A and B are shown apart, each in its own frame.
Chain A
Amino acid sequence: MGGAATIRLERDGPRAVARVAGELTLATTPPLWREVRGVAAACEEIDVRGVPRCDSAGAALLVHLRRESAARNGGRDAPITGAVAQVASMLAIVEDADVHPISPVAPPHEPDDGVFERVGGAAMRLAEAARGGLGYVGDVTASLAQALASPRTVRWKDAFLYMTRAGADALPIVALINVLMGIILAFQGVSLLGKLGFESYTPEAVSVSVVLELGPLMTAILVAGRSGSAFAAEIGTMTVNEEVDALRTMGLDRTRFLVVPKLLALLAMMPLLVVFADACGLLGGLLIGVTALDMTIAQYMAKSFEQLDLWGASQGLIKGEAYALSIAAVSCWRGLRTGNGAQGVGLSATSAVVSSIFLIIVCDAVLTVVFHYV
């Protein structure tokens, strides 16, 4: 790719000439952009005799130097001289502001020839899916590790966007569902425990169920429905539109681009949502408690926290993180495996929600047992 390119300011009699030498390409120009500023003010001519070849990045540099120089010298033009034919035509293309005023038209037609032969051997496909799934888990783990090791490689702008969508935008519905859940639990508690004469234990029953189990669970189900389906549909649409192919042929890692931001967003938002959901659940219980049980707010709250400790609260948070990981990972996977067409996208979104909820319940069962013995 040739040696390094240089810009040197030299005096040629009375004139200050910027002499550019070497191949000007995408590979050689980056360091030169910093030198333009120093050269531009003084230079009266740009001599490119030493440039055997340039690509558009090189031409852009020359044009930039020329404009910069004009801007700093009250519009006095510094002509570019000595360009070989290739450099001259590249400069012409780059400097030419409005070359092709093309009139846009109808969208391109998609050739529809996707009548795929149905192949038997569901077992083979299942085995392949399992292999693909394992590979995917490996990819995701590696990308997450890389994200933690060098956070600069993460596409934070995307991640923040998903945080807003999955976190902040979910607050109203999470609040509503969990307040209702708290009310239902307290109501059931009062009527069932009341028969046994233990109705004063309702606050404990509500707070333990909400914090250990139902707060994280209801939140996760909502997140699966809202964000999981959105993730799958988004990636699915990108797959159908060949955007994922485009990422691959550009050499960009699709896991880093498409999966990691979503994963990080859910991991960051889930604890906040769970704490918020717990508070809403307790509030719902409190509403019934003070109306049906003749307790003061202070009494109800004190009893609520009697059976709860930090470990109990952390269990709920740990579950929440496990749910978040499952939802993001499986939804993105469904998206990446989208088949052809709009139908494929719909199927992916549906199966993302179903798989997410399945994984949530599995995680819940496993973690509940683990926590019991810890």
Chain B
Amino acid sequence: MSDGPPPPEPAVRVTGLRAAFDGRTILENVSFDVRRGEVFVILGGSGCGKSTLLKHMIGLLHPAEGRVEIEGRDLTAARGAGRQSILSRFGVLYQSGALFSSLTVAQNVALPLEEFTSLPKEAIRSLVRIKLELVGLLHAADRFPSEISGGMKKRAGVARALALDPSILFLDEPSAGLDPITSAELDHLILSLRRVLGATLVIVTHELQSIYAVADRCIMLDRARRTIVAEGRPADLRDGSSDPWVRAFFRREVPEEAKP
């Protein structure tokens, strides 16, 4: 984290968001802040709109109502160069990795550096090496995405999201489809990134053990009520929530999933 007092605005602020597809409302009245430097987790049952919310936060979808601010700047209204400079503040790991299939793993990581910085070639090469080392993929640098496994794609996606040293990292289901050990290692990687980069992390996940390992705070969405039903530290929600549904969410899955 940087020295000196951090600026007052939260990393991400969502205000009065309503999300709708073809007039069908998925989420409404969604408001929350993601504080700088914290690990913020978005929880909820399948189909409740977690990915939809994330897509609004990164500007892929336009809210039907409300707005999204990234470090105090309104992403919803930004256009052109202003939008570009907001986009450069964050990196995104997509659920499927979303690596560019025509580029090798190393070229994928190099792409944002080539497009957005004036670094010389050797600098880009060594930065790419570093990011790939970070995620343990240096040996696969010259392979194409079709030639690596799903878990490797995820890690390559993390490396690419980190290319520009973003201050906010959005991760959509980083550990879905990974074995417990790999996903624990990914958790470990996430935590060390946060520690060193001082980055803010926004994570969509189902994995309860991940939640306890990494989350500072979380929000929980509910499909029936179409909004946030709980907000706070995960342990507090499990033990102290007044909402039976929220307690059930944690209780139902904790016992089987607590130990890898």
Using a CB–CB distance below 8 Å, which chain A residues touch chain B? 25-26, 29-30, 33-34, 52-53, 55-57, 59-61, 63-64, 86, 89-90, 93-94, 96-111, 113, 116-117, 119, 158, 237-238, 241-243, 245-246, 248-252
Contacts of A248 in B (CB 8 A): 59-60
Give the distance in Å from the alpha carbon of A252 to the alpha carbon of B87 in the complex: 10
Determine whether the beta carbon of A245 is less than 8 Å from that of B21: no
> Which of B178-186, B225-233, B242-250 faces chain A?
B178-186
B68-125 interface with A by 8 A CB criterion: 83-84, 87-88, 90, 92, 94-102, 111-112, 115-120, 122-123
Using a CB–CB distance below 8 Å, which chain B residues touch chain A? 1-3, 21-24, 46-47, 55, 58-60, 83-84, 87-88, 90, 92, 94-102, 111-112, 115-120, 122-123, 126-127, 130-131, 133-136, 138, 148-155, 162, 164-165, 173, 176-179, 181-182, 185-186, 188-189, 192, 195-198
Give the distance in Å from the alpha carbon of A113 to the alpha carbon of B138 in the complex: 35
Determine whether the beta carbon of A60 is less than 8 Å from that of B127: yes
Determine whether the beta carbon of B60 is less than 8 Å from that of A249: yes
Chain A residue at smallest Cβ distance from B1: A86
Determine whether the beta carbon of A30 is less than 8 Å from that of B134: no
Say whether chain A's binding surface is mostly helix, strand, loop, or mixed: loop
Option from B92, B177, B192 in Cβ contact (under 8 Å) with A106 = B177
CB distance from A166 to the nearest CB of B (A): 15
Contacts of B135 in A (CB 8 A): 100, 102
Give the distance in Å from the alpha carbon of A246 to the alpha carbon of B172 in the complex: 12
CB distance from A135 to the nearest CB of B (A): 14
CB distance from B73 to the nearest CB of A (A): 14
CB distance from B42 to the nearest CB of A (A): 14
CB distance from B50 to the nearest CB of A (A): 10
Chain B residue at smallest Cβ distance from A84: B3
Option from A101, A111, A245 in Cβ contact (under 8 Å) with B136 = A101
Give the distance in Å from the alpha carbon of A242 to the alpha carbon of B177 in the complex: 17
CB distance from B7 to the nearest CB of A (A): 12
Determine whether the beta carbon of A61 is less than 8 Å from that of B165: no
CB distance from A243 to the nearest CB of B (A): 5
Could you list some 24 contacts between A and B, CB below 8 A?
A26-B164, A30-B117, A30-B119, A56-B131, A60-B126, A60-B130, A86-B196, A90-B196, A93-B134, A94-B130, A96-B133, A98-B136, A102-B155, A102-B186, A104-B151, A105-B150, A108-B95, A111-B46, A117-B24, A237-B101, A242-B95, A245-B94, A249-B60, A251-B88
Give the distance in Å from the alpha carbon of A136 to the alpha carbon of B100 in the complex: 22
Determine whether the beta carbon of A246 is less than 8 Å from that of B98: yes
Determine whether the beta carbon of B177 is less than 8 Å from that of A108: yes
Determine whether the beta carbon of A158 is less than 8 Å from that of B102: yes
Contacts of B127 in A (CB 8 A): 56-57, 60
CB distance from A252 to the nearest CB of B (A): 6
Give the distance in Å from the alpha carbon of A52 to the alpha carbon of B148 in the complex: 39
Take A99-B133, A105-B177 as given contacts and tell me if A242 and B165 are in contact as well, using a CB distance cutoff of 8 Å: no
Give the distance in Å from the alpha carbon of A101 to the alpha carbon of B131 in the complex: 14
Take A55-B165, A56-B127, A56-B130 as given contacts and tell me if A104 and B182 are in contact as well, using a CB distance cutoff of 8 Å: yes
CB distance from A236 to the nearest CB of B (A): 12
Take A105-B179, A246-B94 as given contacts and tell me if A251 and B3 are in contact as well, using a CB distance cutoff of 8 Å: no
Contacts of A89 in B (CB 8 A): 195-196
Give the distance in Å from the alpha carbon of A100 to the alpha carbon of B186 in the complex: 9
A-B pairs with lowest CB-CB distance, top 8? A107-B150, A108-B177, A104-B149, A242-B98, A251-B87, A100-B136, A55-B165, A104-B151
CB distance from B142 to the nearest CB of A (A): 16
Option from A55, A107, A158 in Cβ contact (under 8 Å) with B149 = A107
Chain A residue at smallest Cβ distance from B137: A102
Contacts of B149 in A (CB 8 A): 104-107
